[in-house]
Structure 1
Amino acid sequence: MAEEKKSAGLGKALGELLAPVAGFGVTFSNMFRPTVTEQYPFVKHPTAPRYHGRHQLNRYPDGLEKCIGCELCAWACPADAIFVEGGDNTPDNQLSPGERNGRVYQINYLRCIFCGLCIEACPTRALTMTNEFELAGPTREGLIFTKEDLLAPLKEGMLAAPHPMVEGTTDGDYYRGEVTGPTQSQVDWVEENRPEDPTLAAAGKAAREAAK
């Protein structure tokens, strides 16, 4: 028994003596590895597919905005970084399906913690997060992104809003993904009210192809 105690005491003393050396093991193992320097911003590595970067306000295939101004994203934000002010859609100013639209939309990136809770709260999938992470700027005001900064660009064949909803549809049809692009009726409305709209040509072509 005495020998076992003596052996245990010796082992404990030896462990305490070598503990600092073991702690430096990580340091010593890395001292002889080659240095890896990332040449940012000249060489940029791709982010993960689900990376939480800058937000984006999305559109439906016909060009109407998905945001309905419900403010649920603002309520869900733990950092109070989002400000939304809803507006009413009218026959002459139909920005989104249904009765309401996001008239004012702002995200303060000085406060945003990129948690993604706003994305989970959005009922229409209007708000998503991109892989863009370069958000630094010279002024505080420039880091408050407005609706114009956050709106997704119009894809080929989309018709710039405002314009009427697809004839014979409800907002539920939009939410279920049953609207796949602009129709000739929508193109005619924009042509009558905004004949200089640059999206008319591509949207008209898409509407004619869809009607075949």
Structure 2
Amino acid sequence: MLGGPFYPVPLGRKDGLASHAASVEGNLPRPNMTMDAMIALFAAKGFSEQEMVALAGAHTVGFSHCKEFAARIFRYKAGEPSAFDPSMDPRFAQALQKACSKYLEDDTIATFNDVMTPGKFDNMYYLNLKRGLGLLASDHALVADRRTKPLVDLYAANQSAFFRDFSRAMLKLGLVGVKTGRKGEVRRRCHDFNNLST
């Protein structure tokens, strides 16, 4: 629907029998993670740097709440309330400051991850990074780090390569932590554990 790649999704993955917010920490990248921390987190799950950068391309759609990037656009330097991260395009940073001006009063305020083509799955995310239009600190880290910048450059220049590598990485991601035997269940209703369904 958004123009992204098609890829086969293997059937039969079971749902877990527990769902706790505390389980998320340490298993998903955080918006302000350093590149070393992100590489280590993905490596612990068996993913290469290239797979990590390809998966980050999912930020070509969706949005982020202002609180996740406020440190980049407000008070970036101590004592300067309007200062923003100098790696950001100034017009972009100022527009974000305006859009997020009331984020402390309303934590639902959010902006698109990709300001150029927010409703399209494409490689614009990578082009945005090169132009200083990356929203999260972890996004900017991809273009600032010598290990990952060549991959950002590749995907910015070649959407087909991004689609190919994203598809492969998504298939691999679907195999992380697969439950077998009596672990997990095939739910009758997706949003309820079977023993809670009526």
TM-score > 0.5, shorter chain as reference: no
Greater strand percent: which structure? Answer: 1
- Is the radius of gyration larger for structure 1 or structure 2? 1
Which has the bigger relative contact order, CA under 8 A and spacing at least 6? Answer: 2
TM-score, with normalisation over the residues of structure 1?
Answer: 0.27
Greater helix percent: which structure? Answer: 2
